[in-house]
Amino acid sequence: HQGRGRVRTVMQVTKITVVAALGALAAFTSPSQAFTAPSCVGFGRSVAAQSAVGRIPKLGLSHATKAPIGAAPRAQKTGVTGCSMAGYNIDLTGKVAFVAGVADASGYGWAIAKQLANAGCTIIVGTWPPVMTLFERGLKKGFGEDGQLDNGEQMKIEKIYPLDAMFSTPDEVDEDTKANKRYAGLEGYDIMSCAAKVKADYGKVDFLIHSLANGPEVTKPLLETSRGGYLAASSASAYSMISMLQHFGPLMPEGGSAISLTYIASERVVPGYGGGMSSAKAQLESDTKVLAWEAGRMHGIRVNTISAGPLASRAAVAIKKGGAGERNYIDYCIDYNIANTPLPKPLFADDVGKTALALCSDLTAAVTGTCQYVDNGMHAMGLTVDSGSFKEYIDKQSGVPWDGWKPDVGAKKLAE
């Protein structure tokens, strides 16, 4: 009886304490404050827009200072990289991002650069020498809407560096490459030399973006891939990230962020994605964890990778290009994703760009060693609804929830 009495007393005291705490919170929070939140620049629908329907209570905290409303303001926390976090607006003014692998306005590297530029970041890029002249010509002409920032201005790339990630040091550049006319007039395009040039020009790199990959035998099944083709895919697509951190890491201030791009073929079978590229992406993801540990302890920087869904970029189209009037391999991949993802809609390059922006900002200051999926949820699926084996069964289903589960839901939305 005495035990139950003590329990009852504790419960009563706890109840009184909770009620008192809620009362104090209500005293500090006006009705107009209770369900308001600052907007979040660069992340689609703003927090403010969501709070308008009463789903994000502010709970008496100022998001700018994390201090109780009514309390004396504290110095604004800017984080180790000095990014302004006032109202969750991401301000990367004064920061420098080196984006490796940008050669046009259609890929994920460009989209990442664009979103970082939207936040005020200085953009410099490393471009494969054989396409560098073509890229410079495109920049001079302008990429139209693809290069337009949120403020209406065209994205400015401060400098383009020749970069061939197959070479880590000048000694590794072979004579055939030196004699190749597509490399004529260029030098210092190995990773070490490129990093030295960036150091001389800018003194630092806050954000390192690895947006490059190459598999010379990507159209071959793994069983038909040569040793040379397999190792070339690993060298260009995985080891290059290690080499870039070796040489750019010392230029990165504490709190900097390094990001690479991977693909679901690293952990699931994707027929047609061959030549050892699936193995290279698996290596890249494994290395991300080890690099997060080593670069984190050595330089105080974060290392993450983004597993992006299919996009019809120039590189993706080249995997298996269809003939005249035919669709490309990547087009079928995109249709497959729209039919089977939890979010049945197209994936845009800017979806990946915005995720990279978050991973570069103090919003993710404690996030490292992760593989962030940006694929409308495709990675979570175990059974696809457009499978021919299940077509008869699925066609017979109707009503809730099946009307929203059918494989043509995404296509119908796009047609509306």
Report CA 30 to chain centroid distance, whole Å.
38
Three-state SS for 352?
Answer: helix
C-alpha torsion sign, points 221, 223, 227, 231 = positive
Show the beta-strand stretches assigned E in 115-272: 122-127, 157-162, 207-210, 257-262
Three-state SS for 203?
Answer: coil
Residue 82 and residue 60 in contact, taking contact as beta carbons nearer than 8 Å: no
Nearest 10 degrees: CA dihedral of 334, 336, 342, 347?
Answer: 0
Strand order in the sheet with 257-262: 157-162, 122-127, 96-100, 207-210, 257-262, 302-308, 371-374
Amino acid at position 331, single letter: D
Cα(first)–Cα(last) distance of the chain, in Å? 69
**Pick the catalytic residue: 161, 183, 230, 273?**
273
263 carries an active-site annotation: yes
Report how far residue 372's alpha carbon sits from residue 374's, in angstroms, rounded to the nearest whole number.
Answer: 6
Tell me 84's DSSP state: B
Please state, as a whole number, how many other Cβ atoms lie within 10 Å of the Cβ of residue 38. 17
Beta pairing partners, 373: 307
- Matching residue, tokens 């490129």: 194
Closest CA to 163 of 284, 287, 248, 234: 248
Give the total residue count for the chain. 416
**Pick the catalytic residue: 239, 263, 332, 336?**
263
273 carries an active-site annotation: yes
φ and ψ of 204, to 5 deg: -160, 165
Report CA 56 to chain centroid distance, whole Å.
25
Q: Rounded to whole angstroms, what are the CA distances from 107 to 27, 101, 113, 263, 264?
A: 51, 9, 10, 14, 17
Tell me 105's DSSP state: S
Please state, as a whole number, how many other Cβ atoms lie within 10 Å of the Cβ of residue 203. 9
Beta pairing partners, 91: 84
Give catalytic residues, as residue numbers. 263, 273
